Amino acid sequence: MLKIGIIGCGKIAQVRHIPEYLSNEHAQIIAFHDRTRERAEKLATKHGGKVYQSYHELLEDREIDAVSVCVANHLHARVTIDALQAGKHVLCEKPMATTIEDCEAMVVTAKTAEKKLVVGHNQLLTPAHKRAKALIDQGLIGEILTFRTTFGHGGPENWSIDPGPGTWFFDKEAAAMGAIGDLGVHKIYLIQHLTGQRITEVTAKLTTLNKKGSSGQPILLDDNALCIFGMESGIVGTMMASWTYYGAEDNSTILYGTKGIMRIYDHPQYAIAVTLKSGESIYYDLESIQTNEEQSKSGVIDTFIESILEDKETELSGEKALDSMRAVFASIESAQTNKTTKVV
Ligand SMILES: NC(=O)c1ccc[n+]([C@@H]2O[C@H](COP(=O)([O-])OP(=O)(O)OC[C@H]3O[C@@H](n4cnc5c(N)ncnc54)[C@H](O)[C@@H]3O)[C@@H](O)[C@H]2O)c1
């Protein structure tokens, strides 16, 4: 049985990490920490386990094998590195960290410590994305020529456990990135996975169209990010990440291949809808993706536990997350310089 500590007891810990550890027969949560101590205490009372005043104290508990890092973005690297050095396996939430140097340091530290580092890229594990990958690899739509991928919703200020315009998601220091790091990174990860190709260059526009902080002034982060990606083989596609899609969430990806078109989470009824060049249509009725309002089991925690128990790397490894973060940082640079930027 792996003994787990939860660092950061906010929304994602409560709706995903904790329930999914509780339903995993190889895991037992034994420790909680949050800067709002009562939040950790409430969870410990409900589920059992000890509350620690600081994450450092939690990491000193030798009984703990692994931790979930579910705090604000700017703390991901520091907490993850400390945890790995304390001999814990780490499941860190996305975006991996706020600088490329920190992302690299996390990967190196995991290697040196010989501990698993997994990053919470749940999109890869949804039934439709898994099936889409298999169908693409079988050649259903031929060679992918271009794509359009989108992740947009009404913003994180109603999602956070501390909601409102004062949310840390709107604080440049704590979040570091807006929609590009919060939502764009999911689609960057996904599109590299589905196409089997790395993003090699980006032309991006990052804007702040509508979100205001508690001062009433526009936030200092992007609430919309539009990117044109050039891929390894020379194909191009677009990604839109938005915090201002008021109404229904858009989590769609459309892939245009030499033999047909695949629409994922785009059709009102079917998770995948394929129209072939021949005119034939094929529909796949699969479970819908998690939305802010409706959470289903993500599979991220099971993947983390399995990677520890079977000592194997997974599709959610630190290295893969680092690769996606390179495209995130290149997008930010492209927007700042108004130039197409190589992903190094
Ligand atoms: N994989 C996904 O789809 C997904 C979805 C939502 C959030 N996330 C990520 O999860 C992380 C947490 O987001 P959330 O939605 O739970 O936010 P949240 O605002 O609901 O909760 C954050 C929690 O962290 C605590 N915290 C902040 N700073 C802390 C510190 N210094 N020490 C201890 N605790 C601290 C806060 O008190 C709060 O309880 C973020 O990095 C976010 O990007 C990932």
What pLDDT, in 10s, does the model give residues 38-93?
A: 999 999 999 999 999 999 999 999 999 999 999 999 999 999 999 999 999 999 99
What are the pLDDT digits (tens) for 192-216?
Answer: 999 999 999 999 999 999 999 999 9
- 2-122 belongs to CATH 3.40.50.720: yes
For residues 206, 144, 122, 167, the Cα torsion angle rounded to the nearest 10 degrees is: 10
Per-residue HEC secondary structure of 271-304 comes to: CEEEEECCCCEEEECCCCCCCCCCCCCCCHHHHH
Ligand 1 mutation pick, 17, 34, 153, 189, max ligand atoms within 8 A of CB: 34
Residues 6+ apart with CB under 8 A from 184: 151, 225, 227, 239, 241, 328, 331
Is there a contact between 33 and 95 (Cβ–Cβ < 8 Å)? no
Q: What type of residue is 243?
A: W
CA dist., res. 240 & res. 238, Å (int): 7
pLDDT band with cut points at 50, 70 and 90 for residue 287 = confident
- 141 CA distance to ligand 1 centroid (A)? 38
What are the pLDDT digits (tens) for 326-339?
Answer: 999 999 999 999 99
CATH 3.40.50.720 range(s) for the chain read 2-122
Ligand 1 mutation pick, 55, 98, 161, max ligand atoms within 8 A of CB: 161
CATH 3.30.360.10 range(s) for the chain read 123-299+322-342
**Residues framing ligand 1 (Cβ under 6 A):** 8-13, 34-36, 39, 70-73, 75, 93-94, 120, 122, 160-162, 168, 182
Residue 300 CA, closest ligand 1 atom number? 1
What are the pLDDT digits (tens) for 106-138?
Answer: 999 999 999 999 999 999 999 999 999 999 999
- 207 CA distance to ligand 1 centroid (A)? 23
- In terms of Cα–Cα distance, which of 99, 52, 53, 58 is closest to 75? 99
CA dist., res. 192 & res. 82, Å (int): 30
Residue 73 CA, closest ligand 1 atom number? 41
- In terms of Cα–Cα distance, which of 147, 174, 146, 148 is closest to 160? 174
Ligand 1 mutation pick, 32, 35, 71, 297, max ligand atoms within 8 A of CB: 71
Would you say residue 291 has pLDDT above 70?
no
- 176 CA distance to ligand 1 centroid (A)? 13
List for the chain the helix, strand, coil content (%; round to 5).
35, 25, 40
Dihedral sign for Cα atoms in the order 81, 83, 87, 90: negative
Q: What angle do CA 8, 111, 98 make, to 5 degrees?
A: 45
- In terms of Cα–Cα distance, which of 199, 182, 95 is closest to 147? 199
The closest residue, in CA terms, to atom 6 on ligand 1 is 12
Residue 9 CA, closest ligand 1 atom number? 39
Place of tokens 């249509």: 281
What are the pLDDT digits (tens) for 215-236?
Answer: 999 999 999 999 999 999 999 9
pLDDT of residue 7: 98
Average pLDDT over residues 265-275: 95
Is there a contact between 211 and 170 (Cβ–Cβ < 8 Å)? yes
- 11 CA distance to ligand 1 centroid (A)? 7
Integer CA distances (angstroms), 39 to 6, 33, 45, 66, 159, in order? 12, 8, 10, 20, 16
Place of tokens 């920490």: 33
Average pLDDT, the chain: 96
Ligand 1 mutation pick, 12, 160, 300, max ligand atoms within 8 A of CB: 12
Residue 168 CA, closest ligand 1 atom number? 19
- 284 CA distance to ligand 1 centroid (A)? 34
CATH class as words, domain 123-299+322-342: alpha beta
pLDDT band with cut points at 50, 70 and 90 for residue 295 = low
